[in-house]
Amino acid sequence: MQVAVVSDIHANRQALEAVLEDVEGTAARELWCLGDLVGYGADPNDCVALIRDHATLCIAGNHDLAVTGDIPLDEFSRGAALAARWTQEVIEAENLEWLATLRPEAEAGEVGLFHGSPRDPIWEYVISALLAELCFDELHERIGLVGHSHVALSFERQEGRPATGSARREDETVDVSAGSWLLNPGSVGQPRDGDPRAAWLMLDLTSGLASWHRTEYDVDGAAAAIRAARLPDSLAERLHYGQ
């Protein structure tokens, strides 16, 4: 079975629509979302509605939990807190209620889903082999999917060897049929690896292959929407640079 995995959408409707269009052209049977549907971007209602319609499985990210009130806003940067407050003002009641049903981790067979990490599903960034090593010790499934860092990554630990890993670029494929793995699809709505295109992952659970993909989208339109909502201009500007 092939599964498309997305994360860190951040209310970027233009990016999400483009990714969903690309996914529809694949053999993916399911869509899994690793959280942060809202935050930073200007279209929270559209993005929540799209994920509700298309995702088979969805977990919460820290920005989602901020909007629902489960995390205090003083734990966020100024820009993130401003975006969360604005989202609380504009999000529709049914979308807010649905977000409130999500949790930051889930399990699907041999795959664990975490917004942050197996050790801390909400806050931890898995961005080094050392952190991955510690997370593998807490991972009960053979494959873990993580988001939060906004960077496409993979870490592996084979029997008797330390964890290793690296950033992943477009069209890179790895064989995940053996050993333990942590896979990050990158961010749909706010990539931070220098590539402004939306990032996502295809996981083939039958063949044991994971492949990373990038999708062009209307960056100017997403940035204009942020400015029209009077959110911090930096949130619009960074989209052009993938930072």
Give dist(CA 165, CA 135) in Å, integer.
Answer: 13
In a domain, residue 126? The reply is: yes
Q: How many domains does the chain have?
A: 1
Give dist(CA 26, CA 43) in Å, integer.
Answer: 26
In a domain, residue 66? The reply is: yes
- Tokens coding 24: 């529809």
- Tokens coding 199: 């990032």
What local confidence, expressed as pLDDT, does residue 240 receive?
96
Exposure of 38 in the CB half-sphere (CA atoms within 13 A): 32
The DSSP symbol for 241 reads T
What local confidence, expressed as pLDDT, does residue 75 receive?
86
Average pLDDT over residues 26-49: 97
In a domain, residue 227? The reply is: no
Confidence (pTM) = 0.96
Give dist(CA 130, CA 197) in Å, integer.
Answer: 28
In a domain, residue 243? The reply is: no
pLDDT tens digits along 115-153:
999 999 999 999 999 999 999 999 999 999 999 999 999
pLDDT tens digits along 49-104:
999 999 999 999 999 999 999 999 988 999 999 999 999 999 999 999 999 999 99
Tracing tokens 């990210």 back to the chain, one arrives at 61
- Tokens coding 130: 């050392």
What local confidence, expressed as pLDDT, does residue 32 receive?
98
For residue 181, give Cα distances in angstroms to 13, 106, 174, 184. Answer: 30, 16, 10, 10
pLDDT tens digits along 145-164:
999 999 999 999 999 899 99
Give dist(CA 50, CA 138) in Å, integer.
Answer: 32
Give dist(CA 78, CA 97) in Å, integer.
Answer: 25
In a domain, residue 240? The reply is: no
pLDDT tens digits along 180-229:
999 999 999 999 999 999 999 999 999 999 999 999 999 999 999 999 99
In a domain, residue 16? The reply is: yes
- CATH number for the domain spanning 97: value is 3.60.21.10
Which residues span the domain enclosing 210? 2-221
What local confidence, expressed as pLDDT, does residue 92 receive?
98
In a domain, residue 237? The reply is: no
In a domain, residue 226? The reply is: no
β pairing state of 198-204 and 209-215 = antiparallel
Give dist(CA 114, CA 42) in Å, integer.
Answer: 25
Three-state DSSP state, 134: helix
For helices 13-24 and 219-228, what crossing angle results, to 10°? Answer: 150
Under 8 Å between Cβ of 230 and 46: no
- Tokens coding 70: 């489960």
Give dist(CA 78, CA 56) in Å, integer.
Answer: 33
Tracing tokens 């939990």 back to the chain, one arrives at 65
E-state strands within 67-151: 105-108, 111-114, 143-146
Give dist(CA 68, CA 150) in Å, integer.
Answer: 21
Three-state DSSP state, 64: helix
Average pLDDT over residues 162-189: 96
